[in-house]
Amino acid sequence: MKYLVMVQGTQQDYEAMRGKASKHSPAWSEQEIQAMYGYMSAINDDLSETGEMLDGQGLAEPAKVRHVTLGEDGKAVITDGPYSETKELLAGYWVLECESLERVTEIADRITRCPQPAGAPVYPVVIRPILDGAGDI
């Protein structure tokens, strides 16, 4: 079965990774950034070797997000980020093909152990099964 595995973050998290601390998160050092990237790269390498990884990407910061909605007049309403009302957004994802929910949960558990500075916020890793067809709803 295919699964979407997601990690979350905020604009403040991206700022902290650039060295700007806030009450939300301490500033990350270059060593901490490299440890995080190394850890995530090792996960990606392992998932590629097992054939479970179909895709995986980190996403740009919320300040670079654009929302497109349909206005009352039927025309597109375009809003650029950041969005102060948005607490957390998708920061990265993997599309995995795993033999079971238990296996993808093991992978998510490993993701939660990614190194970060003490005091940095902790977010859940979200697992969503990907439907194979309309009849799966």
pLDDT at 109 over 80: yes
**3-class SS letters over 29-53:** CHHHHHHHHHHHHHHHHHHHHHCCE
What domains does the chain contain, in order, with CATH numbers? 2-136 (3.30.70.1060)
Q: How confident is the model at residue 124 (pLDDT cuts 50, 70, 90)?
A: very high
Taking alpha carbons only, the member of 68, 85, 83, 98 closest to residue 4 is: 98
Q: What is the pLDDT of residue 136?
A: 64
pTM for the full model? 0.89
pLDDT at 24 over 60: yes
